[in-house]
A and B are shown apart, each in its own frame.
Chain A
Amino acid sequence: MKRFIGFVTKEFYHIFRDKRTMFILFGMPIAQIMLFGFAITNEINNVNIAILDKSKDDETHKIIKKIRASEYFNIEQDIVNENQIESVFQKGKVKAVLVFETDFIKNLQTLKQAKVQVITDATDPNMANTIANYVNSILLNYTQEINKNSKASHLIQTQTQLYYNPELKSVFNFVPGVMTIILMLVSAMMTSISITREKELGTMEVLLVSPLKPFQVIIGKVFPYILLSIINATIILLLGFFVFGMPIEGNLFLLAFESVLFITTALSLGILISTVSNSQQTAMMLSLMGLMLPVILLSGFIFPVSSMPMALQIISNIIPAKWFIIIIKAILLKGATINVIWKETLILVGMTVFFIVVSIKKYKIRLE
């Protein structure tokens, strides 16, 4: 026990004395969550648009007023003819142009239909899509309003309800995602680097020629990172809860248990990486390429797994982060209990055991 405490103390000295490590451990989680929370977002807010109103009647004015009143759009300018459309897009000032046809009110009253053209700048396709949808829904809303008095013959009305995230806040997606990335990064990359550093500096040689058993060395190296990862997970959840209003519906103990489980999975992956790499650089490249990219791309954090090609969907199953994101979203947003997520939990446990067994098999008690 004394040996273990001595080893862990030494490990904490390393961590606290290295500015870079400290930054990755504590600066990055906060920076990432802030970035994703505030800057990188799928929601649209105050998007600049231009209006080409060829009719300028009561009806178009009402619609424009409605659009102006929404917080989504900001009417940057009014343009007077079609030639200007191209030029305002070129200047990049606006993301969309709304064109009302001539005799809008007349067409609406006589033909019972009038046309609005929505032109969007699709250099950012997601954005363009979202804008078009928002405009559509505002117009639909308005149509329903004016139809209220007249009797429309047949009409199917859709009533959409968004469960668990009614306002479609992207933070609800990003907090679990960032938490997964950070835990993966801290646990896997930092441990694999700290173990390979001993190899690189030659101190591993001295540790090997000592009464310390391999698992004592490994546990001593890993233990501080378990503590730090737990602190990190707590910081991220607190930030999500207090700053972004992320709900925490589920049981806190279950949340803590699942987080520690995922940290252990990531740590065992880190140990595995350190057993196959001899330099800090290799360990870092392996962690970044082998862990970070799949976590970001295939875990369903940014791109939904269900819309991936079959091959990638199959590959995504072997990525621990995918399962953790499912688990944590279920706990945070739906208040899921273990009865719902036992399958995912079991998969993570299985992966962890597998990584640990392979690491122990691969751990070298000698130099080669």
Chain B
Amino acid sequence: MSIIVQNISKSYNKAKAVEAITFEVKEGELFGLIGPDGAGKTTIFRILTTLLLANEGSAIVAGFDVIKDYKAIRDSVGYMPGKFSLYQDLSVEENLTFFATIFGTTIEENYDLIKDIYIQIEPFKTRRAGVLSGGMKQKLALCCALIHKPKVLFLDEPTTGVDPVSRKEFWEMLKRLQQKGITILVSTPYMDEAALCDRIALLQKGSILKIDSPENIIKNYDKVIYDVRTQNMHQLILDLKNYPSQYSVYAFGEYIHYIDKSAGFNPKDLAAYLEKNKHSEIEINISRPTIEDVFMDL
């Protein structure tokens, strides 16, 4: 086991941040903490990177206790905080050199580990980090967190504020790092990224709701979801919410996701109801559930 978290609780001035968190991450696993802002993701990261002390519970990272052996952990993990935290007034290369130096290594020594990523920002290596685009900044931050060849990599919302293309690239990079044997704990508020992890923990209001692989989580979801769409989407939400047997209604991309309470639900009845309420171009199709659907239901 690369990370073992047991019954961790932490509160700030009586406000509970996380409560009774327990999970384990296997060696070489890409594990995701999925949850909205304020779910407690950053708190868990800070406890595991020895920046905060938990009020209760214990945690072990790379075989070291987060309280007793915090120095050993600081030697052997890579951490990329949620906020961009490199030196804005230093160039790309200077940032990387600095982090390599304080970890007692050089860029050359571990170049093959960061090569794939660094090659993309290398053309801008003399540019100040502050003027890089969001995607570039994250790539640089990842390089800096990787430069000392950490055993465990902690990435706190690495793709927040990054464009979709860069996000996709970023996840491809994580997959490649994983193949090099690095354990990765990553957090994200984006549900679509959850499917890219080996296993995920769904987090809300400081508690873990579910831990499993994304496939299992979706497979075990027992309700039928319908994609619904008409010409008047705003009115559609209101009308669906008034449908007697509705279980839940929420916007999902260009569709409204609709779930019914009764087992004998027939989409045709719903279509008739919508027509009566002056909707036209009605589309009702069965949808494949996603992590987000599961999350909405928890």
Point out residues on A near B: beta carbons under 8 Å.
2-3, 5-7, 9-10, 13-14, 17-18, 201-203, 205-212, 365-368
Contacts and interface: CB of A to CB of B under 8 A. Distances in A.
A10 B51 contact: no
Interface residues of B, number: 30
B109 interface: no
Interface stretch (B32-40, B74-82, B203-211): B74-82
B99 to A, nearest CB: 8
B151 to A, nearest CB: 13
Given A13-B94, A209-B49, A6 B85 contact: no
B46 interface: yes
Contact of B83 (A14, A202, A209): A202
Interface in B262-286: none
A268 B114 CA distance: 39
Nearest to B145: A206
Nearest to A5: B101
Given A202-B83, A202-B84, A209-B77, A6 B101 contact: yes
B88 interface: yes
Contact of B89 (A18, A202, A207, A208): A18
Given A203-B87, A212-B102, A366 B97 contact: no
B52 interface: yes
26 contacts: A3-B101, A3-B104, A6-B98, A7-B101, A9-B98, A10-B98, A13-B89, A13-B94, A14-B90, A203-B87, A205-B81, A206-B81, A206-B86, A208-B74, A209-B50, A209-B51, A209-B77, A210-B102, A210-B103, A211-B102, A211-B103, A212-B102, A366-B50, A366-B51, A367-B51, A368-B52
B90 A13 contact: yes
B89 A206 contact: no
B15 to A, nearest CB: 14
A3 B85 contact: no
B53 interface: yes
A36 to B, nearest CB: 33
B74 A211 contact: yes
Interface in B118-169: 144
Contacts of B94: 10, 13
A157 to B, nearest CB: 68
Given A17-B89, A211-B75, A366-B52, A7 B83 contact: no
B104 A208 contact: no
Contacts of B99: 206, 210
Interface in B51-86: 51-53, 70-71, 74-75, 77, 79, 81, 83-86
Contacts of B70: 365
Interface of B: 46, 49-53, 70-71, 74-75, 77, 79, 81, 83-90, 94, 97-99, 101-104, 144
Contacts of A6: 97-98, 101-102
B85 A205 contact: yes
Contacts of B81: 202, 205-206
Contacts of B77: 209
B61 to A, nearest CB: 11
Given A209-B51, A210-B103, A211-B104, A202 B85 contact: yes
A209 B90 contact: no
B104 A2 contact: yes
A206 B145 CA distance: 9
Nearest to B106: A2
Contacts of A367: 46, 51-52
B79 A209 contact: yes
A14 B130 CA distance: 13
Contacts of B102: 3, 6-7, 207, 210-212
A14 B128 CA distance: 12
B85 A203 contact: yes
B103 A14 contact: no
Nearest to B128: A17
Contacts of A208: 50-51, 74
A111 to B, nearest CB: 80
B149 to A, nearest CB: 13
Contacts of A203: 85-87
A368 B53 CA distance: 8
B70 to A, nearest CB: 8
Contacts of B97: 6
Contacts of B85: 201-203, 205-206
Contacts of B53: 366, 368
Contacts of A209: 49-51, 74, 77, 79
A209 B71 CA distance: 9
A121 B90 CA distance: 58
Nearest to B46: A367
Nearest to B97: A6
Contacts of A210: 74, 99, 102-103
Nearest to B87: A203
Nearest to B84: A202
Contacts of A365: 70
Q: Which of B46, B50, B75, B87 has the most CB of A within 10 A?
A: B87
B227 to A, nearest CB: 41
Nearest to A6: B101
A20 to B, nearest CB: 12
B75 A10 contact: no
Nearest to A210: B102
Nearest to B100: A6
Given A205-B51, A211-B75, A366-B53, A10 B87 contact: yes
A303 to B, nearest CB: 41
Contacts of B83: 202
